Amino acid sequence: MRLVTLALAIALLTTPVLSDLILLKVDRRVDLTSHIVRITATLKVENGGSDLVSEILLAFPELQVNNLAYLTATTKEGKGKSKTSGAGLPIEVANPEGMPPALRFYSVSLPKPLSEGEILNLDVLAVFTHTLRPFPQEITQADIQLVVFQDSAHYLSPYAVKVQSLTVKLPESRLESYTKLENTKAQGLEIKYGPYENLAPFSYTPIAVHFETKHPFATAPEVVREIEISHWGNVQITEHYNIVHGGAKSKGEFSRLEYQARPQIRGASAFRHLVAKLPPRAHSIYYRDEIGNISTSNVWGDSKKTELLIEPRYPMFGGWRTAFTIGYGLPLQDFLFQSEGKRYLNITFGSPINELVIDNLTVKVVLPEGSQDFSVSTPFPVKQGQETKVSHLDVVGRPVIVLEKSNVVPEHNQYFQVYYKFNKLSMLREPFMLIFGFFSLFVACIVYMHVDLSISKSSPSYLAKLQWDEVRATIQQIESMINQCLTIHEKLEASLRDLSRTGDVQACKTARKTADNLLKEHSKELKPLISFLQSSPQAAHTLQKVEELLAKERELQDRLMAKHSTVVDCYERKFAGRDIEARVAPLQQKIVTLRQEVEDLLDYIDEI
Amino acid sequence: MAPKPITSPVPESWYPTLSVVMLAIGLVITASFFIYEATSSRRTRSLAKELTTGALASFFLGFGSLFLLLASGVYV
């Protein structure tokens, strides 16, 4: 750090003033309450020259730039309570000539150029990671964790600064030491430097603050977020974490007993749990690592958010690592939209875990199979790639859009969009895969039943089987014929009942005629079947029963016809109902027993 | 044109019911298919009937198992 200062001091003497801008007032607030350092600078810029100025340079020492994760500048319009902060202004890396070598520059493009004498208010937020250096670097379980923060008491800028001040906000009241300059005040949780007046460009006065922090130093060297879209109503998010406690390294032994008994003292530097803020209506949340589900987790939620508290298997001390996976499902309609023929996913980029620094974040967006024409729009630059993933019921695999970014802080939790085209019919791919699978099973069964798999086509057992198949088929045919005859009988009975109700003799006669015809046809068809059975040796033992069945059926038929003729005759002669019944009674009795016998025989043959 | 949220073609709360109903229908038709295969002999069997029964059964089984997957949280 000393060297840098020296280099700067030398550089400062040789640098020309490049612009006519003057910073009237600079207020800087450094927030050290978490391990992510946030520096907010409020600049009041005046154009002191006569030329229009359309960009402002921000300077950072090279060492800081390596840890700079996020930089944004917003203008403040109006004054007092009606202040509105606009959207972030575009920021680019700039390399102006004739500048000191140990500095890096970013240029902020202003929404409209600044003319002579005009004043602009600018808010600059810079977020740094890995900036708090633990000192001592190794501590035991019982020690408290002390860290050092270094910066400049003066605002480093290529422009002259009229009035400036710096406020450092600390997490704990315990302050080990801090650089004392003129106008320095430490009060409670704050250290104030300044105000300092009329400083030349590139003024730099290093300060160091040495203080205690208990904040979880959760840093993740590697995080992979996978966002899988299913048009059947779900956005599934799976996040693989690899987390390290990035604070002072733990040395000596770890006593679980001491930790359990007095966690505030014997483990002040450790963190026990992490909190993830998931979107509202998240469901099917799980938390597991390589050896299975971790049951120490808790979920609660309301209409605005779902909070998930997860506790690793052990408290995290400095330098300890853990790896785990969390996953959850989100309702589709909250994140997927349609606009101008394209569908787009609108979801946050970063991890939902509070105050987590991610060194390398990979976000994979798995689109449904059959998506085309993808494009991504992100609020900050990311590295893009593409791969395919084969998942449930896929043929060619799903397109995956891979977005990579290093040094990610919670400020990067901004919405990004993935646009793609999708034909609705492609949704039917999955069901058709399943249908095809089941159908091929049925087809296999059909083929198996139809194909003759016997090797020797001339063996006696094979021939016997063929013959037996034929006999069985014939018997089945006979059975169905008999059944048809029985339904015809039913119809005749029905016509008799109609007759007794309506007295329409003519209708009854036509019914009889059609029944006669049908029965005649059936008996004609039955003849070849019977003769086949008689000729076949295989049918010998069933033949007797079949013949018996046929005989009984014939008899039943005859009786029924006789009954029918009698009743019709009686009606024509206008006999009384009681008379008819008396005449028919013996026939009726016989018919009932015969029908029973026919049905018994049918059942018997059916079982063969 | 304002962006329109995309929802699934079938309300998600129907998935369990749909799955049970369609699988039941599918299994009944499958049963009738196999009964037909076992009871009919080679001569009396009709290929068209077998294929239509099989296609119908696989349609119901396919959609039924899709909804079963969706209802159990495997979003395909």
Which of the residues A238, A342, A434 would you substitute to probe the B interface, choosing the one with the greatest number of B C-beta atoms within 10 Å?
A: A434
- Predicted local distance difference test score (pLDDT) of residue A3: 47
Residue in chain B lying closest to A328 (CA): B73
The confidence band for A10, taking pLDDT boundaries of 50, 70 and 90, is very low
Q: Which residue in the set A228, A336, A473 is minimally distant from B41, CB to CB?
A: A473
Least confident range from A7-11, A98-102, A376-380, A414-418: namely: A7-11
Q: Which residue in the set B44, B55, B76 is minimally distant from A392, CB to CB?
A: B76
Res A266 pLDDT > 70: yes
CB < 8 Å to A336, chain B: 5-6
- Predicted local distance difference test score (pLDDT) of residue A77: 65
Window 314-333 of A, Cβ < 8 Å to B: 329, 332-333
Give the other-Cβ count within 10 Å of A495's Cβ.
21
**Angstroms from B5 CA to nearest CA on chain A:** 4
Structure tokens at A445: 């069964």
Per DSSP, the residues of A359-402 read EEEEEEEEPPTT-EEEEEE-SS--EEEEEEE--TT-SS-EEEEE
Judge: A430–B34 Cβ closer than 8 Å, yes or no.
no
The amino acid present at A73, given as its one-letter code, is A
Residue in chain A lying closest to B31 (CA): A442
Judge: B8–A393 Cβ closer than 8 Å, yes or no.
no
- Predicted local distance difference test score (pLDDT) of residue A86: 55
CB < 8 Å to B59, chain A: 435
Q: Could you tell me where the DSSP H helices lie in A503-576?
A: 505-535, 540-572
The amino acid present at A83, given as its one-letter code, is K
Give the other-Cβ count within 10 Å of A477's Cβ.
16
What is the four-CA torsion angle of A11, A15, A19, A21, rounded to 10 degrees?
50
Judge: A439–B55 Cβ closer than 8 Å, yes or no.
yes
Share of chain A above pLDDT 90, in %: 44
Q: Does A431 touch chain B (CB under 8 A)?
A: yes
Window 38-57 of B, Cβ < 8 Å to A: 41-45, 47, 50-51, 53-55, 57
Distance of CA A541 to the CA centre of its chain: 67
Q: Which run of H or of E encompasses A218? A: strand A218-230
Which of the residues A442, A446, A466, A474 would you substitute to probe the B interface, choosing the one with the greatest number of B C-beta atoms within 10 Å?
A: A442
- The pLDDT tens digits of the residues spanning B23-50 come to 999 999 999 999 999 888 777 788 999 9
- Predicted local distance difference test score (pLDDT) of residue A534: 83
Bigger pLDDT: A434 vs A94: A434
- Predicted local distance difference test score (pLDDT) of residue B14: 95
Q: Are A330 and B75 in contact (CB under 8 A)?
A: no
What's chain A's Rg over C-alpha atoms? 46
Which of the residues A432, A438, A453, A467 would you substitute to probe the B interface, choosing the one with the greatest number of B C-beta atoms within 10 Å?
A: A438
Judge: B58–A230 Cβ closer than 8 Å, yes or no.
no
The amino acid present at A182, given as its one-letter code, is E
**Angstroms from A435 CA to nearest CA on chain B:** 4
How many CA atoms within 13 Å lie on the side-chain side of A54?
Answer: 4
Q: Are A562 and A554 in contact (CB under 8 A)?
A: no
Give this complex's ipTM.
0.96
Q: How confident is the model over A160-184, as a mean pLDDT?
A: 90
- Predicted local distance difference test score (pLDDT) of residue A111: 83
Residue in chain A lying closest to B55 (CA): A439
Phi-psi region of A233 (alpha: psi -120 to 50; beta: other; left: phi over 0): left
Give the other-Cβ count within 10 Å of A40's Cβ.
15
**Angstroms from A131 CA to nearest CA on chain B:** 42
Q: How confident is the model over A458-486, as a mean pLDDT?
A: 85
Q: Does A463 touch chain B (CB under 8 A)?
A: no
- Predicted local distance difference test score (pLDDT) of residue A583: 80
Q: Does B25 touch chain A (CB under 8 A)?
A: no
Q: Does A477 touch chain B (CB under 8 A)?
A: yes
- Predicted local distance difference test score (pLDDT) of residue A1: 46
How far is it, in rounded angstroms, from Cα A104 to Cα A96? 9
Judge: A332–B7 Cβ closer than 8 Å, yes or no.
yes
Q: Which residue in the set B3, B54, B63 is minimally distant from A339, CB to CB?
A: B3
Give the other-Cβ count within 10 Å of A221's Cβ.
14
- Predicted local distance difference test score (pLDDT) of residue A127: 95
Q: Is the peptide bond before A136 cis (omega within 30 degrees of 0)?
A: yes
3-state SS class at A491: helix
- The pLDDT tens digits of the residues spanning A576-601 come to 777 778 888 888 888 888 889 888 88
- The pLDDT tens digits of the residues spanning A236-259 come to 999 999 999 999 999 988 888 989
Mean pLDDT of chain A: 87
How far is it, in rounded angstroms, from Cα A4 to Cα A128? 19
Angle A385-A388-A389 from CA coordinates, rounded to 5°: 125
Q: Which residue in the set B54, B69, B74 is minimally distant from A439, CB to CB?
A: B54
How many CA atoms within 13 Å lie on the side-chain side of A139?
Answer: 22
Res A5 pLDDT > 70: no
Q: How confident is the model over A149-174, as a mean pLDDT?
A: 90
- Predicted local distance difference test score (pLDDT) of residue A80: 46
CB < 8 Å to B8, chain A: 231-233, 332
3-state SS class at A569: helix
Distance of CA A394 to the CA centre of its chain: 16
Give the other-Cβ count within 10 Å of A493's Cβ.
14
CB < 8 Å to A439, chain B: 54-55, 58, 62
- The pLDDT tens digits of the residues spanning A534-582 come to 888 777 777 888 888 888 888 888 888 888 888 888 888 877 777 778 8
- Predicted local distance difference test score (pLDDT) of residue A18: 59
**Angstroms from B42 CA to nearest CA on chain A:** 7
Q: Are A167 and A207 in contact (CB under 8 A)?
A: no
Q: Does B2 touch chain A (CB under 8 A)?
A: yes
Torsions phi, psi for B21 (to 5 deg): -65, -50
Strands (E) in A261-320, as ranges, are 274-278, 283-289, 292-293, 297-301, 306-310
Q: Which residue in the set A233, A338, A434 is minimally distant from B65, CB to CB?
A: A434
Q: How confident is the model over A208-223, as a mean pLDDT?
A: 92
Inter-chain Cβ pairs, chain A and chain B, closer than 8 A: 120
How far is it, in rounded angstroms, from Cα A424 to Cα A428? 8
Q: Does A340 touch chain B (CB under 8 A)?
A: yes
- Predicted local distance difference test score (pLDDT) of residue A214: 87
Q: Does B74 touch chain A (CB under 8 A)?
A: yes
Res A209 pLDDT > 90: yes
Q: Does A341 touch chain B (CB under 8 A)?
A: no
Q: A357, A288, A273, A286: which is closest to A324 by C-alpha?
A: A288
Q: How confident is the model over B6-15, as a mean pLDDT?
A: 92
Burial of A107 (0-12, 13-18, 19+ CB in 10 A): middle
Res A16 pLDDT > 80: no
CA-to-CA dists, residue A191 to A45, A180, B60, angstroms: 25, 10, 72
- The pLDDT tens digits of the residues spanning A479-520 come to 888 888 889 888 888 888 888 788 778 888 888 888 888 888
Share of chain A above pLDDT 70, in %: 95
Q: Does A469 touch chain B (CB under 8 A)?
A: yes
- Predicted local distance difference test score (pLDDT) of residue A406: 93
Q: A404, A413, A417: which is closest to A376 by C-alpha?
A: A417
Structure letter (DSSP) for residue A341: T
Res A15 pLDDT > 80: no
How far is it, in rounded angstroms, from Cα A350 to Cα A335? 15
Structure tokens at A220: 């993740």
**Angstroms from A540 CA to nearest CA on chain B:** 19
Letter string b/e over residues A546-559, b meaning 16 or more CB atoms within 10 A of that residue's CB: beebbebbeebbeb
CB < 8 Å to A344, chain B: 3
Res B61 pLDDT > 80: yes
Judge: B73–A441 Cβ closer than 8 Å, yes or no.
no
**Angstroms from A400 CA to nearest CA on chain B:** 15
What is the four-CA torsion angle of B35, B39, B42, B48, rounded to 10 degrees?
-40
**Angstroms from B21 CA to nearest CA on chain A:** 16
Q: Are A196 and A312 in contact (CB under 8 A)?
A: no
Q: A341, A337, A275, A348: which is closest to A309 by C-alpha?
A: A275
CA-to-CA dists, residue A419 to A228, A237, A416, angstroms: 14, 18, 10
Bigger pLDDT: A337 vs A16: A337
Q: Does A281 touch chain B (CB under 8 A)?
A: no
CB < 8 Å to A231, chain B: 6, 8-9
